[in-house]
Amino acid sequence: MNIEQEINALRKELHEHNYRYYSEDAPIISDQLFDEKLARLKALEEQHPAFYDPNSPTQRVGGAVTKSFKTVVHAQRMYSLDNSYNKQDLLDWEARMCKNLGVDQVDYTCELKYDGASISITYQDGKLVQAVTRGDGIQGDDVTQNVKTIRTVPLQLTGLSIPEKFSIRGEIMLPTAGFLAMNEQRIAAGEEPYMNPRNTASGSLKLQDSKAVASRPLECYLYQIVATRPLFSSQLESLEAAIRWGFRVPKHFIHAPNMDAVFHFLDYWEQERSHLPYEIDGVVIKVNQMAFQEQLGYTAKSPRWAMAYKFKAAAAETVLESVTYQVGRTGAITPVAQLRPVLLGGTVVKRASLHNADFIKELGLHDHDTVLVEKGGEIIPKITAVKLEKRPLDAKEIVYATHCPECNTLLVRNADEAQHYCPNALGCMPQRVGRVAHFISRKAMDIDGLGAETIQLLMQHQLIDSYADLYSLKEVDLVPLERLAEKSAQNIVHAIAASVTVPFSRVLFALGIRYVGQTVAKKLAQHFGSIDALMQASVEELVQVEEIGERIALSVVAYFRVPAHHQQIEKLRSAGIQLSQTVAAPASTLLADMRFVVSGVFELYSRDELKAVIEQNGGKVASSISANTTYLIAGDKMGPAKKDKAVSLGVPIISEIEFNALLKP
- Residues with a catalytic annotation lie at 113
Minimum CB separation from ligand AMP for residue 133, in Å? 10
Does 598 participate in binding ligand AMP (rule CB under 6 A)? no
Residue 118 binding result from ligand AMP, Zn ion, none, given CB thresholds of 5 to 8 Å by partner type? ligand AMP
Q: How far is Cα 625 from Cα 187, in angstroms, rounded to an integer?
A: 38
Does 183 bind Zn ion (CB under 5 A)? Our answer is no
146 binds Zn ion (CB under 5 A): no
Binding track over 304-333 against ligand AMP, x by CB under 6 A: ----x-------------------------
Burial of 456 (0-12, 13-18, 19+ CB in 10 A): middle
Let me know if 575 is exposed, middle or buried by CB neighbors in 10 A (0-12, 13-18, 19+). middle
We find the least distance from the C-beta atom of residue 34 to ligand AMP, in angstroms, to be: 30
The secondary structure of residue 578, as a DSSP letter, is -
What is the chain's alpha carbon radius of gyration, rounded to the nearest angstrom? Answer: 29
Judged by CB under 6 A, the stretch of 47-55, 112-120, 357-365, 380-388 that binds ligand AMP is 112-120
* Contacts to ligand AMP from residues 290-309, by CB under 6 A: 308
Q: Are 429 and 407 in contact (CB under 8 A)?
A: yes
The listed partner (Zn ion, ligand AMP, none) that binds 424, CB under 5 to 8 Å by sort, is Zn ion
User: Which entry of ligand AMP, Zn ion, none binds 81, CB below 5 to 8 A by partner kind?
Assistant: ligand AMP
Element (H, E) at 309: strand 306-310
Cβ closer to ligand AMP: 107 or 171?
A: 171
Phi, psi of 20 (to 5 degrees): -60, -40
The full length of the chain comes to 665
Q: Is 424 in the site for Zn ion (CB under 5 A)?
A: yes
Query: How near is the Cβ of 378 to ligand AMP at its closest, in Å?
Result: 16
316, 342, 386, 407: residue in contact with Zn ion (rule CB under 5 A): 407
Strands in 254-256's sheet, in edge-to-edge order, are 83-84, 306-310, 280-287, 108-114, 254-256
**Interface region with ligand AMP, contact rule CB under 6 A, candidates 111-119, 532-540, 583-591, 633-641:** 111-119
266 binds, among ligand AMP, Zn ion, none (CB under 5 to 8 A by kind): none
Q: Which of residues 347-406 bind Zn ion (CB under 5 A)?
A: 404, 406
Question: Which residues, 6+ apart, have CB-to-CB distance to 447 below 8 Å?
Answer: 439, 440, 470, 492, 495, 496, 499
Q: How far apart are CA 368 and CA 356, in angstroms?
A: 19
Query: What is the spatial distance between Cα 519 and Cα 391, in angstroms, rounded to a whole number?
Result: 48
Q: Which of 72, 60, 18 is nearest to 148 (CA)?
A: 60
Q: Which amino acid is it at 297? A: G
CB nearer Zn ion, residue 404 or residue 614:
404
CB of 173 to ligand AMP, least distance (A): 9
**Least distance from C-beta 398 to Zn ion, angstroms?**
20
Indicate whether 113 belongs to the interface with ligand AMP (CB under 6 A): yes
Distance, CA of 7 to CA of 51 (rounded, Å): 8
CA distance 537 to 543: 10
Q: Which of 45, 94, 141, 171 binds ligand AMP (CB under 6 A)?
A: 171
Regarding 428 and contact with Zn ion (CB under 5 A), the answer is yes
Query: Is the Cβ–Cβ distance between 33 and 623 less than 8 Å?
Result: yes
What is the smallest separation between the CB atom of 460 and Zn ion, expressed in angstroms? 16
Which of Zn ion, ligand AMP, none binds 90 (CB below 5-8 Å, type-dependent)? none
**By CB neighbour count within 10 A (0-12 exposed, 13-18 middle, 19+ buried), where does 310 fall?**
middle
114 contributes a contact to ligand AMP by CB under 6 A: yes
Total number of residues that touch ligand AMP (CB under 6 A): 13
Helices 3-18/31-47 angle, 10° precision: 140
Q: Is residue 330 a contact point for Zn ion (CB under 5 A)?
A: no
SS3 124: strand
Partner from ligand AMP, Zn ion, none binding residue 223, C-beta < 5-8 Å depending on class:
ligand AMP
Span near ligand AMP by CB under 6 A; candidates 108-116, 177-185, 544-552, 635-643: 108-116
185: nearest Cα among 215, 161, 165? 215
The alpha carbon of residue 505 and the mean position of all alpha carbons in its chain are separated, in whole angstroms, by: 21
Q: Which is nearer to ligand AMP, 169 or 329 (CB)?
A: 169
Distance CA 445, CA 474 (A): 18
- Distances from the Cα of 348 to the Cαs of 209, 284, 583, in angstroms? 42, 31, 54
The span from the CA of 456 to the CA of 433, in Å, is 6
Q: How far is the CB of 146 from ligand AMP (least distance, A)?
A: 17
Determine contact, residues 105/97, Cβ cutoff 8 Å: no
Q: Does 80 bind ligand AMP (CB under 6 A)?
A: yes
Give the integer Cα–Cα distance in Å for 363 and 371.
Answer: 10
Q: Give the shortest CB-142-to-Zn ion separation in angstroms.
A: 47
- 571 touches, from ligand AMP, Zn ion, none (C-beta below 5 to 8 Å by class): none
Choosing from 118, 152, 235, 568, the residue that interacts with ligand AMP (CB under 6 A) is 118
Residues 194-253 that bind ligand AMP (CB under 6 A): 223-224, 250
Q: Which of 199, 198, 206, 203 is nearest to 279 (CA)?
A: 198
The smaller minimum CB distance to ligand AMP, of residues 85 and 564, is found at 85
Please, which residue, 80 or 628, has the CB nearer to ligand AMP? 80
Contact code string over 602-621 relative to ligand AMP, x by CB under 6 A? --------------------
Contacting positions for Zn ion (CB under 5 A): 404, 406-407, 409, 422, 424, 428
Q: Which residues bind ligand AMP (CB under 6 A)?
A: 80-81, 111, 113-114, 118, 134, 171, 223-224, 250, 284, 308
